[in-house]
Amino acid sequence: MSAHKQYDSLKRKQKHYEQTRWEIARIVDCNFDNKTKFLTLTFKENIQDITESNKEFKYFIQRLNYYLYQTKVQTLKYIATWEKQKRGAIHYHVIFFDFPYVAKEKLQNLWTHGFIKINRIDVDSMENRGRYLSKYFGKDLELKEHKKKAFFKSQNLKMPIEQKLMLTDDILQDLSQENIVFQKEYTRQVYDAKSIITNGSPLKDSSVTYLKIKKGRDCTG
């Protein structure tokens, strides 16, 4: 692969990782409540096969769902990711939403594979929860891309409504009246045929402004 193609490939991966992290943060923001819990699952055995560990994680979710709701219909609300420890063993981070009280010992019996840790999530403000928790879910995404899945989520979650706008002076003036809780500016590359003539590349830099606006519970971002 030429240096130019390597550069383009790296840019595409960076964009993919950045979008994944924002997606996770928005999902957390849309579903977070006062019953949200953070769970870590570890294997006492040094399991390093992601296919095997994902299968065991799936079984755990099924057992826990049936224990809580006495049904095989997916009722648990969660988002989860896997991570490798230094010794190579896989462990899981799970965020459960609207999660009733379950004794740690019972969770460990349902898991059956090793140590678990469950915590309430203490974040300084509601607007920071998604960004704070997405750190755990955004780690080493580049190493997970070739795997089957980087993270999992139940199908019953509230999903964010994303709006992409070309910013004009009028829109910026309207946004200044909103409660902007987070803002990030970055540069991405977009296709531009004219750029081939001027720069010798079909890509040019484009400025992006990411705004997170407090607008109630409609999950618009």
Average pLDDT over residues 70-95: 89
Q: Per 3-state DSSP, what percentage of the chain is helix, strand, and coil (rounded to 5)?
A: 40, 25, 35
pLDDT at 181 over 70: no
Q: How large a percentage of the chain has pLDDT more than 70?
A: 62
pLDDT at 130 over 70: no
**Whole-number mean pLDDT of the chain?**
78
The whole-angstrom separation of Cα 44 and Cα 46 is 7
**Is the model more confident about 37 or about 170?**
37
Find the farthest-apart pair of alpha carbons in the chain and give their distance in angstroms, rounded.
66
Among 68-72, 104-108, 165-169, the minimum mean pLDDT is found in 165-169
pLDDT at 75 over 80: yes
Helices 104-111 & 50-69 angle (0-180, nearest 10): 130
What one-character DSSP code corresponds to residue 126? G
Residues 6+ positions from 183 with CB-CB distance below 8 Å: 209, 210, 211, 212
CATH topology of domain 3-153: Alpha-Beta Plaits (3.30.70)
Q: What is the pLDDT of residues 13-57, one digit of tens each?
A: 666 666 777 788 888 888 988 899 999 999 988 888 888 999 999
HSE on the CB side for 96, CA within 13 Å? 23
The model carries a pTM of 0.70
Res 26: pLDDT: 84
pLDDT at 87 over 70: yes
pLDDT at 4 over 80: no
The one-letter code for the residue type at 203 is: L
Domain boundaries, the chain: 3-153, 169-214
Please report which confidence band the pLDDT of residue 150 belongs to, taking 50, 70 and 90 as the band edges. confident
